[in-house]
Every structure is written in C-alpha cells, then in structure tokens.
C-alpha cells in the first residue's frame, strides 16, 4: 500500500554558532529546547549572538541567512512541542530568527528603475 503522507523533514543545522568569544567564554548559542542563550539567558539570538554572527559571517551573508532559516525551523519545532498552546506566532519567530539578518529587501529598490 502506498502512503500519500510526506515523511518527517530532516533535522536542521546544529546550533553551534556563533563560536565562543573570547575563546574560553560561554558561547552565545541556544539552549534547547527553550531557545534561550546559554551564556546570558536572553531569548536566542541575543544581541551578542547577533553581533558575533554578523562578524563571523561577514564574508558569507548567504550562509548566515541559510543558517538562520534552518534554526528558525528547529526552534519552531522545539517550541511548539514544548508548549503547543503558548508557542510564539510564526511572525514573531520570523522576526526573531531571520528578519534581523543580512538579506532584507529594501522597501524601494535602489535606482528606482522600471
């Protein structure tokens, strides 16, 4: 018998960035499944994690966008499993994980061509 259900999507990227800075400090990486920062306790990505990620991916902003989208997926899955009734909205999750990242389309395209 053939099933028409799609399989479970594979896991997203490992949440191991940004690297610790300074080198021996606690890393500003997410503590799962709550997705708070393991160094400072704020919702991840905390301001320091954002700063370090921007620096770490300065030469490869596309990789940062892909990484953030993967973690958005992982965090959404964790937080909905943890608290299905009280999980953040998709808009809030997108704003928290992706919207601050490097690739945002300007409201008006530069040059204003047609």
Q: Binding marks (x or -) toward Zn ion, 42..71, rule CB under 5 A?
A: ----x-x-----------------------
Is the CB of 31 or the CB of 62 nearer to Zn ion? 31
Dist. CA 70–CA 86, nearest whole Å: 22
- E strand residue ranges, the chain: 30-31, 36-37
Is the CB of 52 or the CB of 93 nearer to Zn ion? 52
Instruction: Provide the binding-site residues for Zn ion, judged by CB under 5 A.
Output: 28, 37, 39-40, 46, 48
């Amino acid at each position: 018998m053939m099933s028409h259900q799609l399989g479970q999507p594979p896991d997203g990227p490992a949440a191991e960035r940004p690297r610790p800075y300074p080198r021996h400090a606690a890393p500003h990486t997410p503590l799962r499944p709550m997705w708070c920062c393991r160094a400072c306790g704020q919702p991840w990505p905390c301001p320091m994690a954002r700063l370090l990620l921007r620096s770490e991916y300065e030469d490869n902003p596309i990789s940062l966008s892909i990484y953030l989208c993967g973690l958005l997926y992982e965090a959404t899955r964790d937080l909905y499993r943890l608290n299905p009734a009280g999980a953040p909205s998709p808009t809030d999750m997108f704003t928290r994980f992706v919207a601050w990242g490097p690739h945002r389309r300007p409201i008006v395209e530069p040059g204003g061509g047609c």
